[in-house]
Chain A
């Protein structure tokens, strides 16, 4: 009886609401991570508010979900509990994990017009490599990055090097590194030549080296890795030799988080880190600095990185099409330009770089263009099924070689065997 009463009341309330509003309100929930400093969260909020102001009847609940790691944990937990958000930004490399958990939908289901198809084809191909598999698109590039080389022009001048020319090859990086490494009277190093951080997720910057050595770490289906390829071994030997043989890099695991600070303090004359740090370095470096592409070996190269938009299962088609509409809007050139300038992330569509605001920004601050130009040489970030576990196995192998516990070939062969054991299920 009571249940009936409540049902009746609910039904009439819905009717009343439906007649009061022009169209039924669409509620969307949107999780986003923040991985860099600055006004990333505020910019997302501002953009979301702008969209809802233009689209009455749409409510977007933008939820700041912590780091990338926290966000994926929260999204998976919420989805398992039946409360999946409609859309979320998460690491591009978690695509296979989300497919494996059966939580996301391909965007192809919502692409109907030619205009939609043109939109899907308007992103840099380097970014789409981590967003498509099996002929379907599961991710839309949003906060994407790539590693670049930052160098201290003052230190270059002091060492008698041309302050405007960064190293172009691996050999040059070692030679310049030797000139840039300074020691005090006791023989202790006060300034290292180069700093390639290796804590937390060493695989990412290391992938810069493997790509330059012309080898891909995992296939596009995400079920086979090439960790024991001789070219990967060679890249790791080069990385180890920087501190072991050439003495141009700090030995042991080099902390990722302290890297910009070490650069500002003059502890390292060159550093490899994400373009996401561009605004940070611009604000805090007490000297003139340059930004360049990573040095080449067999070819130029770098991985891409960062987060994509994903669409989650479990809600109505109406909500999902609205979510796709929102994603189209926020990746449009004007909005995307605002986002890039606020954070330093690489705008994922060539069209964004054609806007007046971006042209002006690039004119004032030419280093912003380096990352874009490097995209031509960039490849997909290492991504497989059971991605977190596979990358951790790879990270452990890199750490073992960097700290001298194992030689590069042994460490990588072991990692490949472990990865094979896990990925065999997915072939």
Chain B
């Protein structure tokens, strides 16, 4: 009896495990393995090069540039999109006419494919006759070139990301808000607390598990969302808006330097692991699970 349960358990886990092994763990291990070899070219087979690829990585100015960009990208997009998500969730958690419509409007960016959306934003940003320039022009300002200038290209990419992400995170906050028992806020109100105090002392702490979940997702997304870069800037000008994953794609599938691509991927995997572990420890004391 005991034994049969054991088999049963393994059978239940098996499908998920097979796919995880096949598409996540095995590729991750081969990636690490490949990062110690040179790139095979048709006429030159790959050979063991030890840590050469990592040496090259430390001397590669583009790598440091995209890593820095990714840091700014994460710092710029995560707090803003989470804050926006909370504000939007609080707003649509009240009763008012047209509530479903507003909720839907906030969520729409999530539903649309990023590539399609990036093409629309490309038109917004177009110098001269794009939406932004037409609005600015009507107010008497001159032409801008947000995507074509190294000072603003990354910020323009970040704006699209925030717009895309905030609505998605709002859904989680909305669900969390609805699971907070109303007695708690009522009790706080009887004690004489004002709206801000209630949010700071009651609502926000109770949202912490959601914030943990959302922020881990946001961190992963800040390394994962690069689709719009292909459309908007292709990483330019001079890598000003290139991110780590975009650089990995370029190295592996444009330059076909698969070994160096693997090396960059190892760095990204390590970074993501560290960040996820760090977040769990950092939030651990502040998250109150019921």
* A residues with CB within 8 A of B: 69, 73, 76, 97, 99-103, 186-189, 198-200, 250-255, 257-258, 261-262, 265, 267, 386, 388-389, 392, 395-397, 399-400, 402-403, 405
Known: A100-B41, A265-B128. A253 touches B149 (CB 8 A): yes
Chain B residues, Cβ within 8 Å of A403: 148-150, 237-238
* Residue pair B255, A101 in contact (C-beta under 8 Å): no
* Residue pair B128, A250 in contact (C-beta under 8 Å): yes
Q: Is B254 an interface residue (CB 8 A)?
A: yes
* Residue pair A253, B145 in contact (C-beta under 8 Å): yes
Apart from A188-B140, A251-B145, A403-B149: 19 A-B pairs, beta carbons within 8 A: A99-B42, A100-B43, A101-B41, A101-B42, A186-B140, A188-B141, A253-B148, A253-B149, A253-B237, A255-B147, A258-B127, A267-B129, A388-B254, A392-B255, A402-B237, A403-B148, A403-B237, A403-B238, A405-B150
Partner of A199, one of B41, B140, B236, B253: B236
* Residue pair A102, B42 in contact (C-beta under 8 Å): yes
Partner of A252, one of B41, B129, B145, B257: B145
Chain A residue at minimum C-beta to C-beta distance from B128: A267
Please name the 6 residue pairs, one residue from A and one from B, whose CB atoms are nearest each other, closest first: A102-B42, A253-B148, A252-B148, A399-B237, A188-B142, A252-B145
CA A395 – CA B240 in complex, angstroms?
13
CA A316 – CA B233 in complex, angstroms?
43
CA A99 – CA B122 in complex, angstroms?
37
The minimal Cβ–Cβ distance linking B238 to chain A, given in whole angstroms, is 4
Q: Is B234 an interface residue (CB 8 A)?
A: yes
CA A97 – CA B41 in complex, angstroms?
9
* Residue pair A392, B254 in contact (C-beta under 8 Å): yes
Q: For chain B residues 205-260, which have a beta carbon within 8 Å of chain A? A: 233-234, 236-239, 250, 253-257
Chain A residue at minimum C-beta to C-beta distance from B252: A73
Partner of A399, one of B42, B126, B140, B238: B238
* Residue pair B256, A76 in contact (C-beta under 8 Å): yes
Chain A residues, Cβ within 8 Å of B250: 392
Residue picked from B140, B237, B254, most chain A C-beta under 10 Å: B237
* Residue pair A261, B129 in contact (C-beta under 8 Å): yes
Chain B residues, Cβ within 8 Å of A396: 236, 238-239
Partner of B42, one of A103, A257, A392: A103
Known: A100-B41, A396-B238. A189 touches B143 (CB 8 A): yes
Chain A residues, Cβ within 8 Å of B195: none
Chain B residue at minimum C-beta to C-beta distance from A267: B128
The minimal Cβ–Cβ distance linking A74 to chain B, given in whole angstroms, is 10
* Residue pair A200, B234 in contact (C-beta under 8 Å): yes
Q: Is B137 an interface residue (CB 8 A)?
A: yes
Q: Mark B108-138, 1 if CB is under 8 A from A, else 0.
A: 0000000000000010001111000000010
Chain A residues, Cβ within 8 Å of B148: 198-199, 252-255, 403
* Residue pair A399, B236 in contact (C-beta under 8 Å): yes
* Residue pair B237, A400 in contact (C-beta under 8 Å): yes
Chain B residues, Cβ within 8 Å of A250: 127-128, 143, 145
Chain B residue at minimum C-beta to C-beta distance from A186: B140
Chain A residues, Cβ within 8 Å of B140: 186, 188
Residue picked from B42, B43, B234, most chain A C-beta under 10 Å: B42
Chain A residue at minimum C-beta to C-beta distance from B236: A399
CA A24 – CA B135 in complex, angstroms?
66
CA A265 – CA B128 in complex, angstroms?
9
CA A5 – CA B142 in complex, angstroms?
79
* Residue pair A100, B142 in contact (C-beta under 8 Å): no
Chain A residues, Cβ within 8 Å of B142: 186-189
* Residue pair B128, A252 in contact (C-beta under 8 Å): no
The minimal Cβ–Cβ distance linking A106 to chain B, given in whole angstroms, is 14
Chain A residues, Cβ within 8 Å of B233: 199
Chain A residues, Cβ within 8 Å of B149: 252-253, 403
* Residue pair B41, A253 in contact (C-beta under 8 Å): no
Chain B residues, Cβ within 8 Å of A254: 127, 145, 148
Chain A residues, Cβ within 8 Å of B257: 389
Chain A residue at minimum C-beta to C-beta distance from B258: A80
Chain A residue at minimum C-beta to C-beta distance from B125: A255
CA A389 – CA B255 in complex, angstroms?
5
The minimal Cβ–Cβ distance linking B241 to chain A, given in whole angstroms, is 11
Chain A residues, Cβ within 8 Å of B236: 199-200, 253, 395-396, 399
Q: Mark B177-201, 1 if CB is under 8 A from A, else 0.
A: 0000000000000000000000000
Chain B residues, Cβ within 8 Å of A200: 234, 236
CA A403 – CA B234 in complex, angstroms?
16
Q: For chain B residues 10-27, which have a beta carbon within 8 Å of chain A? A: none
Chain A residues, Cβ within 8 Å of B127: 250, 252, 254-255, 258
Chain B residue at minimum C-beta to C-beta distance from A393: B62
The minimal Cβ–Cβ distance linking A8 to chain B, given in whole angstroms, is 35
CA A402 – CA B145 in complex, angstroms?
13
* Residue pair B126, A73 in contact (C-beta under 8 Å): no
* Residue pair B239, A262 in contact (C-beta under 8 Å): no
Chain B residues, Cβ within 8 Å of A103: 42
7 of the cross-chain contacts (CB-CB < 8 Å) are A188-B142, A189-B142, A250-B145, A251-B145, A252-B237, A392-B255, A399-B238
CA A265 – CA B142 in complex, angstroms?
17
The minimal Cβ–Cβ distance linking B214 to chain A, given in whole angstroms, is 34
